[in-house]
C-alpha cells in the first residue's frame, strides 16, 4: 500500500511538473500575472509529492518490505539500520529518486525565497526547473520505477552491494547530488534570462548564492568520495582519474569558473553572455556526469544496472536539454546587451584568466574522459586514457592558474597594479621559495616536480594570508585597529581567502602524499617485522570476528616507532558477506598528525602467512582538510550580507541581533 | 587601449591558452594511450614486445601458480588463445580462477606478459565489460558467466 502511494505521488508530481512547466511561461508571454504566480505554489506542491514518494520508498526500506523488488534486491533485514536507510540510494532507481527529490527541493527553495525576484524571471526560471523535473519523473516512471512489487514476497532481501555498506554512502551521494542538481538553478535562471531577452548585474546576485551552495556541496561531495575510495579500495590511492570521478570534477571546474565570472558580472556588469553560457555548460556537465555514471557506458561500482532502455532515455534527456539549451543560447544570446570591457591587468582580467584556464582544464578532462567512448563507438578500438594523460594535460593547465591566483584578489577593479601586487606578494613568494629549497634539500630522489608543486601550494596559501593582511593592514596598524578592520571586512573577502587557502592545502597534500610517500608489499608470518619511514610493524596473528551481516578475518599488527615506542595496534581485515558471498578489504589507518599509515590485507595463504600492503602517506589528510576549508570559505561568503537575497536589513537591527559581530 | 585592442588581447590570449592545451593533449594522446587487447588480438595483431597494453580475458582454471615473494603466474585466455602472465604483488579481491581479469603491462621478448597492475575494475556482475566483449567475439561467452562470477568473486573495484 505504501509503495503504491509513493508511485501515485510520483505520478502526481509529474502532472504538477507539466503544469509548472507550461502555465507560467504562457503567463510571461501573455503578461498574465495570475498564470505567472502559479509557478511558486506548483513548485511547492511538486516537492511535497516527490518528498512523499521518497518517504514511501524510505518506509519500505526501513520496515524491510521485500515485496518491493527494489528493496528485495538491495536490502537485507540483517543490515544495520543506517545501511538499510542509505541503501535507498545505493541502487539505480533509488538514486534517481534522490536526484529528483533534491531537484524539486531546490525548486521549492526558489519558490519560497525568491520573493524579491522579478515576477517574470521567477516564473520563467521555475518553469524551466519543472521541465527538467518532468523529464526525470518520466524517466523514473517509465524505466526505473522503484515501487515495482514481486508477486510472492521473499523472506529475506539480497543485501546491499558490500562495497557500498559503508558510512560514506550516507554522505557522498547526497552531497554530490546537491552539487550537481544545485547547478540546475543557475541553468534555469540562464534559460529564463534568455527567454526574457534581458539580463543585468542583479541576475548574477540572485544566481550566485545558488551556485556557491552547489559548489560547496560538490566540493565536499567529491572530497568525501575521494576519501571513501582511499580507505576502501585497499591500495591507498585518493584519485584515479576514473571516468566516474572525472564526471564529478568537470561540473566542479565549470562551476568554479562560473562562480568567478558571476562576480565580474555582478560588480562590473561585464561577461554577461559568458556567465550565461557557463551556467548552461555547468549543468550540462552535471547531466553528462549522471549519464556517464548511470547509463552503463562505463563499468564501475557506480553503475548499478545496465538496461539499454535507460541509457537511450538519459541520452535523449541529454540531447534535448543540452542541445536545446545551447541552440536557444545561440539564437537568443545576441539579444542580450553586451557588458563593458576592461583592461587586461585588473581584477576582471585576473578572473578572466581564471575562467580561461578552468574551462580549458575542464575541456581537457572532458576530452580525456569521452575520447575512449567516442573511439570505441566509431571504430571499435578499446583504449584506456589513464592518469598519465591527465597528469600531462590537467597539471600544466592548473599550475599556472594556481600561480596567478594570489594576484587576483590583490588587484583593483578596472585597472590593476601588477607591480604593486607583485611587491605585496614578495613575502609570500619568498616563503614559497624557501619551501621549495627545503623540499629539494630534504627530498632524496623524489620527482623533480614535487618541490615545485609544494612551493606553488605554499605560495597560494601565503598569498591568501597576504590578501587578508593587506586588507586589515595588520602589519601597519596597532593590533586592535587591525582587528576592527578584520571584523569589518566583508565576509566574502574572508570567504575568498579561505577558499584559496583551502585549495593550497589540498595541493600540498596531493604533492606530499604522491611524491614523498612510501610503500611496502610483503608476505608476513607471525612475528615478522616490516619497516616503513620511521615506523616498524609487527604481525601478531590472525583471528576471526563476527559482525551483524558479515564475518571478518582480522590481522593484528603492532606498530612501533623505530626507537621502540609503542604507537598502537592496527587491525585490517578481509570482510566476507555470506548473503552475496563477497569479500571486501577493510584497510587499517593509523593517523599521525596529518599523515597516515595505511595497512591492507591481501590474499590469505595456505601456510597461514598473510600478504600485506603498507603505505606511509605523509600529509595525506591535508587533501580532504583543504576541501573542508574551501567549504568553510564558501559558507563565509554565503553568509555575506550582499548575497543574502532577503529584504535588506537595517544595519541597526542587525547589530542588535548580533552583538558579537 | 581602445575597445578593439582590448578585445583582441582577450581573444588572442584565449586562443593562445587553447593552442597550448591542444598541444598538451595531442602530446599526451601520443604517449599515454593504452590499447585493450584480448589474447587472440595479441596473437593475431602481433603486438610487439615492450608496447604497453591492457590484456583482458579469463584466468585459465588451474593455471595460477604462486611463487615466492608474492609473485604469481597465470594464463589469460579467451578460449581460443592463451597468454602467460607474470605479476608480483597483491592481487585484487576479485581475482579468481575462471573469472575475468584485466592486466596492464607489456610482453617480454619471450612472449610472457609482465603485468605491473591487475585491475580490479568490474560491474555488479563482476565481469569487466571489455572482457565480456572480447569473450563474446571469441564465441566463448556464456550468459551465466556474470551470475557465477557474482556468486564467488570479491569486491574492491571502483
Distance in Å, alpha carbon of B68 to nearest chain A alpha carbon = 9
Among residues B157, B2, B144, the alpha carbon closest in space to that of A233 is found at B157
Range name among A243-252, A280-289, A568-577, B141-150 with the lowest pLDDT average: B141-150
Collapsing DSSP to helix, strand or coil, B90 comes out as: coil
Number of CB pairs, chain A paired with chain B, less than 8 A apart: 142
Distance in Å, alpha carbon of B19 to nearest chain A alpha carbon = 10
Find the CB nearest B90 among A381, A388, A602.
A602
Find the CB nearest A341 among B7, B124, B154.
B7
Interface test with B, best of A159, A168, A301, A601 (most B CBs within 10 A): A301
Scanning A145-242, the segments in alpha helix (DSSP H) are: 168-196, 201-232
pLDDT for residue B4: 79
Range name among A37-41, A55-59, A89-93 with the lowest pLDDT average: A89-93
Residue A566 scores a pLDDT above 70: yes
Rounded-to-integer distance, Cα A219 and Cα A176, Å = 8
Q: Chain B partners of A301 at a C-beta cutoff of 8 Å?
A: 124, 155, 157-158
Domain A1-165: state its class: mainly alpha
pLDDT for residue A642: 63
Find the CB nearest B21 among A234, A300, A360.
A360
Among residues B28, B112, B3, A218, the alpha carbon closest in space to that of A226 is found at A218
Contact A611 B90 (CB under 8 A): yes
Rounded-to-integer distance, Cα A49 and Cα A9, Å = 5
Contact A584 B156 (CB under 8 A): yes
Q: Chain B partners of A584 at a C-beta cutoff of 8 Å?
A: 93, 154-156
Higher local confidence (pLDDT), A384 or A210: A210
Query: Mean pLDDT across chain A, nearest whole number?
Result: 89
Among residues A296, A248, A240, A393, the alpha carbon closest in space to that of B119 is found at A240
Rounded-to-integer distance, Cα B78 and Cα A88, Å = 38
The partner residues of A462 in beta bridges, in order of sequence, read: none
Query: Is ipTM > 0.85 here?
Result: no
Rounded-to-integer distance, Cα B72 and Cα B67, Å = 6
Contact A383 B35 (CB under 8 A): yes
Residue A659 scores a pLDDT above 60: no
Higher local confidence (pLDDT), B81 or A304: B81
Interface test with B, best of A389, A400, A580 (most B CBs within 10 A): A389
Give the tens place of pLDDT for each residue, A82-93.
999 999 998 889
What's the full length of chain A, in residues?
661
Among residues A280, A275, A262, A12, the alpha carbon closest in space to that of A128 is found at A280
- pLDDT band at residue B128 under the 50/70/90 scheme: low
| pTM score of the predicted model | 0.90
Residue A215 near residue A634, CB atoms below 8 Å:
yes
In order of A56, A61, A91, A93, A135, the CA distances from A144 in angstroms are 16, 17, 10, 5, 13
* A356 alpha-carbon distance from chain centroid: 21
Contact A384 B123 (CB under 8 A): no
Give the tens place of pLDDT for each residue, A506-518.
999 999 998 888 9
Question: By percentage, how much of chain A surpasses pLDDT 70?
Answer: 94
Q: What angle do CA A535, A540, A541 make, to 5 degrees?
A: 140
Nearest residue in B to A297, CA atom: B129
The partner residues of A169 in beta bridges, in order of sequence, read: none
Rounded-to-integer distance, Cα A363 and Cα B158, Å = 23
Interface test with B, best of A270, A356, A393 (most B CBs within 10 A): A393
> Where are the domains positioned within chain A?
1-165, 405-516+622-642+653-657, 519-617
Distance in Å, alpha carbon of A629 to nearest chain B alpha carbon = 27
pLDDT for residue A656: 41
The pair phi, psi for residue A168, each rounded to 5°, is -55, -30
Find the CB nearest B35 among A306, A382, A600.
A382
Work out the burial of residue A235: count CB atoms within 10 Å of its CB; fewer than 13 is exposed, 13-18 middle, 19 or more buried: buried
Collapsing DSSP to helix, strand or coil, A472 comes out as: helix
In order of A80, A249, A631, B125, the CA distances from A506 in angstroms are 34, 15, 12, 35
Amino acid at each position: 500500500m505504501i509503495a503504491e502511494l509513493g508511485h501515485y505521488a510520483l505520478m502526481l508530481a509529474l502532472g504538477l511538473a507539466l503544469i509548472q512547466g507550461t502555465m507560467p511561461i504562457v503567463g510571461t508571454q501573455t503578461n498574465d500575472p495570475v498564470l505567472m504566480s502559479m509557478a511558486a505554489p506548483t513548485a511547492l506542491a511538486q516537492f511535497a509529492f516527490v518528498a512523499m514518494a521518497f518517504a514511501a520508498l524510505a518506509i519500505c526500506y526501513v520496515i524491510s518490505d521485500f515485496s518491493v523488488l527494489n528493496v528485495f534486491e538491495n536490502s537485507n533485514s540483517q543490515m544495520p539500520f543506517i545501511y538499510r536507510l542509505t541503501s535507498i540510494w545505493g541502487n539505480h532507481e533509488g538514486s534517481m529518486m534522490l536526484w529528483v527529490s533534491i531537484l524539486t527541493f531546490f525548486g521549492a527553495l526558489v519558490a519560497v525565497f525568491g520573493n524579491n525576484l522579478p515576477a517574470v524571471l521567477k516564473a520563467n526560471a521555475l518553469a524551466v526547473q519543472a521541465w527538467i523535473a518532468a523529464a526525470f519523473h518520466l524517466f523514473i516512471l517509465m524505466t526505473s520505477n522503484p515501487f515495482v512489487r514481486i508477486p510472492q514476497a521473499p523472506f529475506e532481501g539480497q543485501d546491499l552491494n558490500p562495497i557500498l555498506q559503508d558510512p560514506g554512502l550516507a554522505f557522498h551521494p547526497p552531497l554530490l547530488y546537491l552539487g550537481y542538481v544545485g547547478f540546475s538553478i543557475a541553468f534555469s535562471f540562464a534559460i529564463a534570462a534568455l527567454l526574457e531577452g534581458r539580463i543585468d548585474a542583479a541576475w548574477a546576485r540572485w544566481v550566485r548564492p545558488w551556485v556557491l551552495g552547489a559548489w560547496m556541496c560538490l566540493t565536499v561531495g567529491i572530497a568525501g568520495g575521494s576519501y571513501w575510495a582511499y580507505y576502501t579500495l585497499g591500495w591507498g590511492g585518493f584519485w584515479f582519474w576514473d571516468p566516474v570521478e572525472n564526471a564529478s570534477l568537470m561540473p566542479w571546474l565549470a562551476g568554479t569558473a562560473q562562480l568567478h565570472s558571476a562576480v565580474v558580472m555582478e560588480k562590473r556588469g561585464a561577461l554577461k553572455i559568458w556567465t550565461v553560457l557557463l551556467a548552461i555548460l555547468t549543468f550540462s556537465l552535471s547531466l553528462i556526469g549522471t549519464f556517464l555514471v548511470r547509463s552503463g557506458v562505463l563499468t564501475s561500482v557506480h553503475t548499478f544496472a545496465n538496461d539499454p532502455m535507460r541509457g537511450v532515455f538519459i541520452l535523449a534527456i541529454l540531447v534535448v536539454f543540452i542541445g536545446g539549451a545551447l541552440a536557444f543560447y545561440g539564437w537568443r544570446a545576441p539579444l542580450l546587451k553586451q557588458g563593458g570591457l576592461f583592461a587586461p591587468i585588473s581584477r576582471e582580467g585576473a578572473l578572466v584568466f581564471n575562467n580561461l584556464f578552468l574551462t580549458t582544464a575542464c575541456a581537457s578532462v572532458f576530452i580525456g574522459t569521452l575520447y575512449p567512448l567516442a573511439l570505441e563507438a566509431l571504430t571499435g578500438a578499446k583504449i584506456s586514457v589513464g592518469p598519465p594523460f591527465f597528469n600531462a594535460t590537467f597539471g600544466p593547465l592548473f599550475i599556472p592558474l594556481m600561480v596567478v591566483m594570489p594576484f587576483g584578489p590583490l588587484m583593483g577593479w578596472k585597472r590593476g597594479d601588477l607591480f604593486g601586487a607583485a611587491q605585496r606578494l614578495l613575502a609570500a613568494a619568498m616563503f614559497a621559495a624557501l619551501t621549495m629549497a627545503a623540499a629539494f634539500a630534504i627530498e632524496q630522489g623524489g620527482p623533480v616536480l614535487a618541490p615545485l608543486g609544494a612551493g606553488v601550494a605554499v605560495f597560494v596559501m601565503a598569498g591568501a594570508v597576504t590578501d587578508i593582511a593587506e586588507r586589515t593592514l595588520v602589519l601597519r596598524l596597532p593590533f586592535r585597529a587591525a582587528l576592527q578592520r578584520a571584523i569589518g571586512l566583508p565576509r566574502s573577502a574572508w570567504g575568498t581567502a579561505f577558499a584559496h587557502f583551502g585549495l593550497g592545502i589540498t595541493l600540498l597534500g596531493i604533492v606530499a602524499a604522491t611524491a614523498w610517500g612510501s610503500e611496502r608489499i610483503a608476505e608476513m608470518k607471525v612475528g615478522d617485522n616490516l619497516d616503513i619511514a620511521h615506523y616498524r610493524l609487527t604481525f601478531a596473528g590472525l583471528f576471526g570476528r563476527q559482525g551483524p551481516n558479515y564475518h571478518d578475518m582480522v590481522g593484528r599488527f603492532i606498530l612501533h616507532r623505530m626507537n621502540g615506542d609503542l604507537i598502537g595496534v592496527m587491525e585490517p581485515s578481509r570482510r566476507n558477506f555470506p548473503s552475496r558471498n563477497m569479500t571486501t578489504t577493510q584497510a587499517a589507518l593509523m593517523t599521525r598528525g596529518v599523515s597516515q599509515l595505511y595497512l591492507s590485507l591481501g590474499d590469505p595463504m595456505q601456510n597461514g602467512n598473510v600478504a600485506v600492503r603498507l603505505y606511509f602517506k605523509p600529509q595525506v589528510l591535508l587533501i580532504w582538510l583543504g576541501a573542508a576549508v574551501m567549504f568553510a570559505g564558501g559558507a563565509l561568503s554565503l553568509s555575506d550580507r550582499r548575497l543574502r537575497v532577503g529584504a535588506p536589513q537595517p544595519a541597526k537591527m542587525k547589530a542588535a541581533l548580533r552583538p558579537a559581530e | 587601449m581602445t575597445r578593439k585592442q582590448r578585445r583582441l588581447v582577450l581573444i588572442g590570449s584565449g586562443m593562445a591558452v587553447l593552442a597550448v592545451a591542444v598541444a598538451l593533449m595531442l602530446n599526451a594522446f601520443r604517449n599515454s594511450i593504452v590499447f585493450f587487447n584480448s589474447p587472440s588480438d595479441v596473437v593475431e595483431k602481433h603486438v610487439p614486445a615492450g608496447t604497453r597494453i591492457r590484456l583482458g580475458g579469463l584466468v585459465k582454471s588451474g593455471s595460477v601458480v604462486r611463487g615466492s615473494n608474492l609473485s604469481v603466474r597465470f594464463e589469460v585466455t579467451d578460449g581460443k588463445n592463451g597468454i602467460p602472465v607474470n605479476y608480483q604483488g597483491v592481487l585484487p579481491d576479485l581475482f579468481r580462477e575462471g573469472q575475468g581479469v584485466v592486466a596492464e603491462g607489456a610482453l617480454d621478448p619471450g612472449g610472457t606478459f609482465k603485468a605491473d597492475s591487475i585491475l580490479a575494475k568490474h560491474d555488479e556482475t563482476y565481469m569487466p565489460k571489455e572482457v565480456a566483449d572480447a569473450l563474446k567475439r571469441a564465441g566463448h561467452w556464456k550468459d551465466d558467466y556474470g551470475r557465477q562470477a557474482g556468486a564467488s568473486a570479491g569486491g574492491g573495484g571502483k
